Amino acid sequence: MRVGYIGLGIMGKPIARNILKSGFPLVVHNRSQAAVEELVHEGAMCASNPQEVAERVDVVFTNLPDSADVEKVVLQEHGILAGAHPGLIHVDNSTIKPTVARKIAMLLAEKGMRSLDAPVSGGDIGAINGTLAIMVGGPQEALEVVRPIFNAIGKTITYVGEAGAGQIAKAANQIMVAAQMVAMGELLIFAQQAGANPQKVIQAIQKGAAQCWTLDTKPQRLFSGNRNPGFKAGLQAKDLNIIMESAHEFGVPLPMTAVNAQLYQAMLQNGMQDLDNSAVIAMIEKLANTELTINS
C-alpha cells in the first residue's frame, strides 16, 4: 500500500517515520518544510499539497491540531477530497470533535471514499517506539485494510464503532489524562508542603491502587526540572475544550473535567502552552505559593 501522511508534528513525524521504516512507500506533506526534508532524506517522497498526496496514495493519514484544521485539509481547494479516487481511505490520527469526524466521513462517503477516525494515545514516547494505543471509528472493513499500517505504529488497536466512535474514545481518554495530571500535581505539592519527600511518596503509591501511566512516566521528569513537551499543554487545553463542547451537545455534565479545563486554560493565559501537559503542576504551585523541589 502507498501511504500519505499530512501533519508532521511531535506525534505525526515519528508515526510517519515508523510507517516508512516498515516498508510502506510514503508521501508526506506539512506546513513546515523542515520535517518534510528530514523524512525525504530518510526515503519518503514529498507532495506540494493534500490533493497531491491523496492522488498518489491508497491510504492518506492526517494528524493536525484541531477540528477546523482537519476540515480545511480534507475539504479545501487542493484538499484530500479534491484528490479522491476509488478505494482511497482517509485515516485521521488527530483529536477532533466526534461530530466533525462524522461530518467528514459522510462527505467522503458521498465521493466513494472510506474514512476512519483513529486518534492515538501514548505521547511522543509511544509515537517514537511504535507502541501507541489506536482507537478506531468507521467502517470495520476499512480498518482491516489499513491494519498492517496500524501494526507499524501501535501496540493496541481497538475498533470502537462507527464514524466518530474513535473520537469519543479519545475524548474519554483525555478526560482521564487531564484528571491524572492535575491529581499528580496536587499530590506532589501536598506531600512536599506536608513535610514528606515527594519522590518517596511516589515510590510508596505507584504500585498500589493509585498506579497509572502518569505516575509511571511523569514524576521523574518533573523532579529533574524537565517540563518540555511530550504532549503540549496547549493541545491538552484544546482537547478539553472539545470535550466540554461535545458534552454540551450531548447533554452530559462533566463537573471535574470543567475544573481541569480551567486549569489548562490558566496555563495558556500564563504563556505555558508549549510546556508538557504535566506542567499543569505550575498552576497548583501558584495556588499554594510554592514550587516543587528540583533535584540538584
Residue-wise pLDDT for 80-118, tens only, equals 999 999 899 999 999 999 999 999 999 999 999 999 999
Q: Is the pLDDT of residue 230 over 90?
A: no
Q: Where are the alpha helices (DSSP H) in the chain?
A: 12-21, 33-41, 50-56, 67-75, 98-110, 123-129, 140-153, 165-194, 198-205, 213-217, 219-223, 233-250, 255-269, 281-288
In a domain, 23, yes or no: yes
In a domain, 46, yes or no: yes
Same domain (yes/no): 114, 151: yes
Query: What is the count of structural domains for the chain?
Result: 2
Tell me, what amino acid is at 275? L
Give which of 119, 92, 158, 129 is closest to 17, Cα–Cα.
129
Same domain (yes/no): 25, 150: yes
Same domain (yes/no): 7, 144: yes
CATH of residue 283's domain is: 1.10.1040.10
In degrees, rounded to 5, the angle at the alpha carbon of residue 152 between the alpha carbons of residues 150 and 156 is 55
Transcribe 19-73 into DSSP letters. Answer: HHHTT--EEEE-SSHHHHHHHHHTT-EE-SSHHHHHHH-SEEEE--SSHHHHHHH
Same domain (yes/no): 157, 204: no
Average pLDDT, integer, range 5-26: 97
Class of residue 238 by CB neighbours under 10 A (exposed 0-12, middle 13-18, buried 19+): buried
- Select from 162, 183, 214 the last residue of a domain: 162
Specify the pLDDT at position 296: 63
Mean pLDDT, the chain, rounded, equals 97
Same domain (yes/no): 50, 141: yes
pTM, two decimal places = 0.93
In degrees, rounded to 5, the angle at the alpha carbon of residue 227 between the alpha carbons of residues 280 and 14 is 110
Same domain (yes/no): 15, 122: yes
Average pLDDT, integer, range 34-44: 98
Give which of 28, 1, 31, 33 is closest to 14, Cα–Cα.
28
In a domain, 295, yes or no: no
Same domain (yes/no): 142, 48: yes
Q: Which domain holds residue 263?
A: 169-288
Same domain (yes/no): 120, 62: yes
- Select from 103, 127, 162 the last residue of a domain: 162
Class of residue 207 by CB neighbours under 10 A (exposed 0-12, middle 13-18, buried 19+): exposed
Percent of the chain with pLDDT over 70: 100
Average pLDDT, integer, range 115-136: 96
* Residue 156: strand, helix, or coil: strand
pLDDT in tens, 138-182: 999 999 999 999 999 999 999 999 999 999 999 999 999 999 999
Same domain (yes/no): 117, 56: yes
170 as an active site residue: the answer is yes
* CB count in 10 Å sphere of residue 262: 13
* Residue 121: strand, helix, or coil: strand
In a domain, 293, yes or no: no
Q: Point out the catalytic residue in the list 13, 97, 170, 232.
A: 170
CATH of residue 89's domain is: 3.40.50.720
Same domain (yes/no): 150, 252: no
Same domain (yes/no): 173, 116: no
Specify the pLDDT at position 123: 87
* Residue 6: strand, helix, or coil: strand
Q: Is the pLDDT of residue 295 over 90?
A: no
* Residues 19 and 26: beta-carbon distance below 8 Å: yes
Same domain (yes/no): 33, 138: yes
Who wins on pLDDT, 111 or 284? 284
- Select from 162, 197, 223 the last residue of a domain: 162
